[in-house]
Amino acid sequence: MSDDAVPIQYHLHIHDQSFLNDARLMFEATTPFMSFHVGEFIDPRSVNVDELPEDVWWRITAVMHRLWEIEPSHIGHQVGLTVVAVPKPE
């Protein structure tokens, strides 16, 4: 591990029900994503998922972090979420 600062790549992967499934959606950014917590909701239409009914949202069931370093290129930080479809909260 080097003492020199290297860029960090941030990744967000959203999985249906289990991390064993391929990610349904993936995002990459140069700044960190906000914190996600089990029990929180995501409106699927806010991330361009249109095939779900209007009254269905995703509830986060698990949050996982992965970190890696590719010297001297960059550090990676991936946040993985598992979600289940639930009725839209009122």
> Range of 27's domain?
8-87
**CB 61 within 8 Å of CB 17:** yes
CA-derived radius of gyration, the chain: 15
Backbone region of residue 39 per phi and psi (left: phi > 0; alpha: psi in -120 to 50; beta: other values): left
pLDDT at 25: 94
Q: What is the DSSP string of 2-45?
A: -SS---EEEEEEEEES-TTSPEEEEEEESSPPPP--TT-EE-GG
Kindly report, residue by residue over 6-45, the tens digit of the pLDDT. 899 999 999 999 999 999 999 999 999 999 999 999 999 8
The reply to whether 62 falls in a domain is: yes
Write the pLDDT tens digit of every residue in 61-84. 999 999 999 888 889 999 999 999
| pLDDT in the model for residue 56 | 92
Residue at 63 is within a domain: yes
What's the CA angle centered on 79, arms 5 and 55, to 5 degrees? 145
Question: What pLDDT sits at residue 2?
Answer: 52
Q: Is residue 1 in some structural domain?
A: no
User: For the chain, what is the domain count?
Assistant: 1
Tell whether 3 is covered by a domain: no
